């Protein structure tokens, strides 16, 4: 996949395949690798799979917000002139996707949220992060998943390195506080795009009641739970995730029934 990563116009992103864009937005401690299963599955399914690298640690503190990330995504989409986008976001990436859609609905064909913030999330807690406490970071990272083995040493090491860099953790805290403040509950009724919600039944960050609330507030939405799954279904159980996503996208590709 590294051969498909591009850098141009101040943006770094992966683009694979041809067809309607399936644009993937990762979360606060996320990366392109979070979507490996989705990328590999859909790269040959008549979609253009796009994963922009979100500048989580490159924005100045003032713009290290949900709105700041949304502006970056907007500039990126405009630069590539993507249209009919299937916009998928996990965790903070889902929050960014929601804000983008509310501001620029004309470019979006459908919305897919998984473990999204925007209504409620239980973060790492006031004591997080404990700099230098590797076991604490390991435990908190494992709690993101139903199966703690999903939190590989590589993933734990990456989180540990982030929380031990002052400049990075200041931006993490700024983004987390922005997500809490930027509640979208009173705006979700404006969404008129087909929306798919895929949630882990054992998500402790954005628990199942959050998914049910998204389902209640977003018109034209459907909700699917995956058992024995935590906050990042596309990482933990990619086969089940991809099956649900493909069925949803297939329905959108069918001609509308004539009554």
Q: Could you report the per-residue pLDDT of 145-154, keeping only the tens digit for each? A: 999 999 999 9
Write down the pLDDT at residue 130.
57
What DSSP assignment string belongs to 138-190? Answer: HHHHHTTSSSGGGS-HHHHHHHHHHHT-HHHHHHHHHHHHHHHH---TTTGGG
Write down the pLDDT at residue 1.
63
**Adjacent-strand bridge partners of 5:** 14
Mean pLDDT over residues 9-19, rounded?
A: 93
User: Is residue 258 scored above 50 in pLDDT?
Assistant: no
> pTM for the complete prediction?
0.92
Q: What angle do CA 241, 177, 60 make, to 5 degrees?
A: 100
> Own/partner pairs for 208-217, CB < 8 Å, 24+ apart?
210/116, 210/119, 210/120, 210/121, 213/119, 213/120, 213/185, 214/113, 214/116, 214/118, 214/119, 214/188, 217/119, 217/185, 217/188, 217/189
pLDDT digits (tens, 9 = 90+) for 74-131: 999 999 999 999 999 999 999 999 999 999 999 999 999 999 999 987 654 444 455 6
User: Is residue 17 scored above 60 in pLDDT?
Assistant: yes
Question: In whole angstroms, what is the distance from residue 112 CA to residue 234 CA?
Answer: 12
User: Is residue 63 scored above 60 in pLDDT?
Assistant: yes
Mean pLDDT over residues 173-179, rounded?
A: 88
Write down the pLDDT at residue 31.
83
Write down the pLDDT at residue 259.
46
Least confident among 114-118, 230-234, 250-254: 250-254
206, 117 Cβ separation under 8 angstroms: yes
What average pLDDT does the structure give for the chain? 90
Structural domains in the chain, CATH included, are: 2-253 (3.40.50.1820)
Mean pLDDT over residues 62-68, rounded?
A: 90
Mean pLDDT over residues 24-31, rounded?
A: 89
Decide which of 75 and 254 is more confident: 75
Question: In whole angstroms, what is the distance from residue 156 CA to residue 148 CA?
Answer: 11
Write down the pLDDT at residue 125.
41
Write down the pLDDT at residue 76.
97
Confidence of residue 244 (pLDDT cuts 50, 70, 90): very high
User: Is residue 202 scored above 60 in pLDDT?
Assistant: yes
250, 45 Cβ separation under 8 angstroms: no
9, 43 Cβ separation under 8 angstroms: no
């Amino acid at each position: 996949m590294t051969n498909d990563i591009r850098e141009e116009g101040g943006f770094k992103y992966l683009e694979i395949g041809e067809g309607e864009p399936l644009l993937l937005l990762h979360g606060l401690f996320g990366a392109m690798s979070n979507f490996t299963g989705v990328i590999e599955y859909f790269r040959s399914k008549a979609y253009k799979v796009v994963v922009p690298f979100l500048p989580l640690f490159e924005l100045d503190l003032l713009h290290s917000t949900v709105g700041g990330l949304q502006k970056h995504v907007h500039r990126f989409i405009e630069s590539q002139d993507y249209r009919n986008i299937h916009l998928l976001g996990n965790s903070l990436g889902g929050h960014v996707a929601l804000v983008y859609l509310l501001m620029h609905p004309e470019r979006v064909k459908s919305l897919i949220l998984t473990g999204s913030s925007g209504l409620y999330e239980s973060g790492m807690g006031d004591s997080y992060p404990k700099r230098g406490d590797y076991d604490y970071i390991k435990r908190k990272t494992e709690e993101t998943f139903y199966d703690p083995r999903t939190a590989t040493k590589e993933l734990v090491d990456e989180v540990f390195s982030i929380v031990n860099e002052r400049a990075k953790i200041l931006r993490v805290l700024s983004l987390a506080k922005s997500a809490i403040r930027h509640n979208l509950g009173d705006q979700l009724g404006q969404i008129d795009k087909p929306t798919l919600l895929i949630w882990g039944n054992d998500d402790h960050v954005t628990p199942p009641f959050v998914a049910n609330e998204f389902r209640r507030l977003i018109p034209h939405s459907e909700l699917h739970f995956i058992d024995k799954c935590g906050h990042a279904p596309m990482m933990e159980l990619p086969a089940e995730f991809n099956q649900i996503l493909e069925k949803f996208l297939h329905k959108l590709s069918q001609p509308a029934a004539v009554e």
